[in-house]
Structure formats: structure tokens, C-alpha cells
Amino acid sequence: MNEPAPVAPAPLTHDAFSALALTALDDVYRFARSLTRDASDAEDVVQETYLRAFRSWTTFQPGTDVRRWLFTIARNAFLRSRERGQREVILDDEGAAAADAEQAQEAWVRGGLDPILDRTDLGPAIVAALAELPEVYRSAVVLVDLEDQPYEAAAEVLGIPVGTVRSRLFRGRKLLQQRLAQHARDAGIIPDRAAGSPV
């Protein structure tokens, strides 16, 4: 039996592209918040992202992931907005944060978080804890864990090798667990007595 020949996706109209791009607005906003850690700056990045996307929509390949395309534009827009020095400061955080993550008090963190992970009201605490991570870790965790992007897509968006995505994810998740445990303890969700004290 003959296999049908592959059919190239039909070209998009401007209206069809616009509708597709707007379905990703929440995702692009979340990613922009993760990059900027500031609501106002995130709104600027989102507007710049969509302005660029609507201007160059004919370069988008129909049938590919529009979120991946928009995340890449958002990341570039963010970097351009931070060209004067800020990027170096953010990247400098990596060493300190990595050391911090490596010293994670695993037993304390896991023991404290384990009973609360199924709570339905944990979202705001996770968002707050994510905001405290250095950008290099935050971006990787947001792309893979919130936006469900594969490593290869996250690597393309962030302009780093897949192996670096993997290591940033590992450290970022451990750091996030620490921060979340701290938030939960401060909010009284995890009793100090039950979780024990960090070393």
C-alpha cells in the first residue's frame, strides 16, 4: 500500500497567525515574568515580543510550535532591554546559586514539602519562590516545568547547550524546593517542629 506523500502545512493568513499567537499570551507573559521578575518590565517584554511577532509573522513556519518561536523572541527582547550591564549581573549569580543549591538541606526540604505538595493552594507560594531564583535557573524551570518544553527547545530559546539546560534544571529545582520550603515554613504551612531545623 502506498503511503500518502507528506503534505506541507498550508500557509497562514495574517489573521490566522494572529489568532494562533494570541493563544500563547498567558505562556509568553509567564515567561516574561520569569525573565524580568517585575510586572511592568514583563509587560514591556510581552508588548515588544508581539510587536516583533506581528511584524515578522511571515517568517514563522506553519506547523511548528508557535510558543517556542515567541519564547525565543521574548528572550531576545529581554536581553536587548538589559544590554547595559544587567545581563552580566544576572549571570554572575550562577556560581553563588549553584553553591547554594549544592548545600540544599535535602532531608529537611523533602520532609517539609512532602506533606503539602498535593495542596491546591500552593500555586502562589511556588510563583513567589520561583521569583527568587536567579534568572539562569528560573528560565530553565519555567520553560520545562511550566511550559512543558523539551530540553532541545529550551536550549534553543535560551541559546545554551542541552547539557547546560539539564544542569540548570537540576540546580534550579533544588533551589526552588529550598525556597518553597522556606515560604511554607514562614507561612506556618510547615511547622518548624515537624520539619526539623535546617542544618
Partner 1 sequence: MSTMPEPHRALDCDGAFARLFDFLDKELDAATESALLAHVQHCRSCFDQAEFERRFKAAVAESRSAQRCPDALRQRVIALLGPQREAT
Q: Which residues would be at the binding site for partner 1 (CB under 8 A)?
A: 14-15, 18, 22, 25-26, 28-30, 33, 43, 46-47, 50-51, 54-55, 110, 113-114, 117-118, 120, 122-124, 126-127, 130, 141, 144-146, 148, 150-151, 162-163, 166, 169-170, 173, 176-177
Complex with partner 1: residue 96 or 127, whichever CB lies closer: 127
Contact 19, 57 (CB under 8 A): no
Q: Which is nearer to partner 1, 173 or 185 (CB)?
A: 173
CA-based diameter of the chain, in Å? 69
Number of neighbouring beta carbons within 10 Å of residue 103:
12
For the chain, the straight-line distance linking the first and the last C-alpha, in angstroms and rounded, comes to 67
- Minimum Å gap between C-beta 1 and partner 1 is 27
CB of 155 to partner 1, least distance (A): 12
Q: Which is nearer to partner 1, 18 or 76 (CB)?
A: 18
Query: What's the min distance (Å) between Cβ of 13 and partner 1?
Result: 10
H or E segment to which residue 16 belongs: helix 14-22
Question: For partner 1, which is the closer residue by CB, 31 or 75?
Answer: 31
Nine-digit cell string for 147: 511550559
- In the complex with partner 1, which residue's Cβ is closer, 87 or 167? 167
CA atoms within 13 A on the CB side of 47: 7
Question: What is the C-alpha to C-alpha distance for residues 48 and 66, in angstroms, rounded to an integer?
Answer: 16
Question: Nearest approach, Cβ of 58 to partner 1 (angstroms)?
Answer: 8
Of 55, 24, 59, the closest CA to residue 149 belongs to 24
DSSP per position, 95-126: HHHHHHHHT--HHHHHHHHGGGTT-TT-HHHH
Nearer to partner 1, 90 or 142 (CB): 142
